[in-house]
Structure 1
Amino acid sequence: MYVTPKDFAKKMIDAGEAKVFMSTKDTVIRAYMAGAILALAAAFAVTVAVNTGNFLIGALLFPVGFCMLYLLGFDLLTGVFTLVPLALLDKRRGVTVKGMLRNWGLVFVGNFGGAFTVAVFMAIIFTTGFSTEPNAVGQKIGVIGESRTVGYAAAGWAGMLTLFIRAVMCNWMVSTGVVAAMMSDSVSGKIMAMWMPILVFFYLGFEHSIVNMFLFPSGLLLGGNFTVVDYLLWNEIPTVIGNLVGGVTFVGAMIYATHHKTSPELGRDEATAIATPAE
């Protein structure tokens, strides 16, 4: 069944409120599992792209990870960036800036832990326990890490701007996927709604902070020609900030402003006056 925008806007605020009051244990576990599943999906998508020679096929299949983690009730940093501020904006009782930052911090740590675990596991697989050179997929991940750190750095501030905009647009799409899942009460409806914006973000190469928590540590383990400082300064930190801006502004605030805080309709006489050209 389709859920109207007015109703799923309220769902978004309710979800943000619930996340603020979630226990530390539950928040970290759910974030850890979300990071791990999304990392596995990224490894899967890169493997498909390398083995088929067609990145579009990998992008078409990547959303399977996002759908799994959402249906299991796990949390990504990109999602809580969008949902939790709405509870604060709506002045829900007990929701504070401190509580919001606590949630974001715990989810970040959990996401990174899950993604890093998978990065280590996949590096072991790609190198047969670090006994051989990385296979084709491992080499590709190393190249991705280089191009999206030192590649940006080589362009200076223009590279930083490009990175930031890619991160903003990423969470515009990813958070649209989070919201889209609230548009339906059925599993199939949720999956179809989520699949579309996640496919768009991945195929266009936008910057997702949690996917990067897998790609870049994995790239370092596999011999990528960049450093931890390169990763943090020329990818992860700007990506987190861009993801925050994209989720809050283009998804959360827009839906809140027009579907939850709907302005009064124009009266018929007023609407007619606006539509009629002045003589």
Structure 2
Amino acid sequence: MSFVKPAKVVDIMVETGAAKANLSPFQMVIRSVLGGAILAFATTLAFTAVHQTSIGLAGALLFPAGFAMIVLLGLELVTGSFALIPLAVIRRQTTFGRMLAGFGWAIAGHLIGCGLYAALYLLTITNFGHNLEAPLAKTLIALSEAKTLGYKELGTDGMLLVIVKAILCNWMVTLGVVMSFTSKSTAGKIAAMWLPILTFFAQGFEHAVVNMFVIPAGMMLGADVTFADWWEWNQLPVLIGNFIGGALFTGILLYMSHKKLLPAREEIAAAGVTVKEPVIPAVNGGKSL
């Protein structure tokens, strides 16, 4: 059978988190560059589908294609790692410092990959700058301003709103990563991870890596957004919210729901603790009932 039981999935989560945390900076950056670029490809695919059909759900149905590519190729998506590496820290298979370093290198790689794709993509939709009125260019400008200035106008409420939307987003995104572990077949993995990714994208929640493409692309096209607006009113709070959603609502809660609270007998024995067998009193004078 290709189905993997939830308890085993939790073990895979820990093992995968440890493997990611122990990657070299070079490997982490390269995987993150590719992961960021592929997710940006999927984002523009979704925007194109919406533009051509005028149906918002069309974009949500197609966007998971990029996520599936990233997972199947073993590339890096820092938002997914938010649910995995903290578990490896809890199980002492990596360190807190390695976790933070891994996140930092991944974010740097995503910025490079998203920025590279943004520059190349904008050249195509504007005919090398000769048509700045292209519909998709206007879409990117509007989204860039809405994802920053829209929250800024609301002040404190805007800051809380963007964090909540980021929590909800990565609750589903990390669930997509975990769902890919529930099957041993390629088709099963794709089908399983497609469901939560569609769920997040269709509702307009905030994803840090998607925004590393959308907001800079809008800024390149002339959106009225400053670098400070981008990081203060979107990128930093979204990263915080994505971490909470992934680490707590997916990683830790799934871990707690499927792992035994008491250590296994083998782990107790390895710790040098003697476990006595329980004494069961005889029933009916020791005779079988």
Report if TM-score (shorter chain) is over 0.5.
yes
The question of 1:61 aligning with 2:62 is answered yes
Structure whose residues are more often helix by fraction: 1
Letter in 2 for 1:114: G
Contact 1:6-1:260 at 8 Å conserved across structures: yes
Letter in 2 for 1:26: Q
In 2, the alpha carbon distance for the partners of 1:74 and 1:190 equals 15
Q: Deviations over 1:120-141 (max 9, x none)?
A: 1111112111122141011111
SS at match of 1:206: coil
The two structures have a TM-score, normalised by structure 2, of: 0.88
Contact 1:145-1:216 at 8 Å conserved across structures: yes
Shift of 1:54: 0.9
| Matched ranges for 1:25-104 at <5 A | 25-92=26-93, 95-104=94-103
SS at match of 2:181: helix
Shift of 1:50: 1.3
In 2, the alpha carbon distance for the partners of 1:67 and 1:202 equals 14
Contact 1:134-1:222 at 8 Å conserved across structures: no
Gaps of 5+ in 1: 265-279
Letter in 1 for 2:253: M
SS at match of 1:183: coil
Residue of structure 2 equivalent to 1:172: 171
Residue of structure 2 equivalent to 1:138: 137
In 2, the alpha carbon distance for the partners of 1:263 and 1:184 equals 28
Shift of 1:15: 0.4
In 1, the alpha carbon distance for the partners of 2:38 and 2:203 equals 21
Shift of 1:262: 4.5
Q: 1:120 to 1:57 in 2, by over 3 A?
A: same
The two structures have a TM-score, normalised by structure 1, of: 0.92
Residue of structure 2 equivalent to 1:274: none
Residue of structure 2 equivalent to 1:196: 195
In 2, the alpha carbon distance for the partners of 1:260 and 1:113 equals 38
Residue of structure 1 equivalent to 2:266: none
CA RMSD of aligned residues (A): 1.2
Shift of 1:223: 1.6
Percent identity among equivalent residues? 40
| Matched ranges for 1:177-188 at <5 A | 177-188=176-187
Residue of structure 1 equivalent to 2:215: 216
Letter in 1 for 2:196: P
Gaps of 5+ in 2: 264-289
Residue of structure 2 equivalent to 1:272: none
Moved more, 254-263 or 141-150: 254-263
Aligned residues: 262
In 1, the alpha carbon distance for the partners of 2:56 and 2:148 equals 20
Bigger CA radius of gyration: 2
Q: Deviations over 1:138-197 (max 9, x none)?
A: 111110111111011111111111100000011100000000000000001100110010
In 2, the alpha carbon distance for the partners of 1:263 and 1:49 equals 50
In 1, the alpha carbon distance for the partners of 2:38 and 2:222 equals 24
Residue of structure 2 equivalent to 1:160: 159
In 1, the alpha carbon distance for the partners of 2:189 and 2:74 equals 13
Letter in 1 for 2:18: E
Letter in 1 for 2:26: K
Moved more, 178-187 or 224-233: 224-233
In 2, the alpha carbon distance for the partners of 1:230 and 1:115 equals 18
SS at match of 2:41: helix
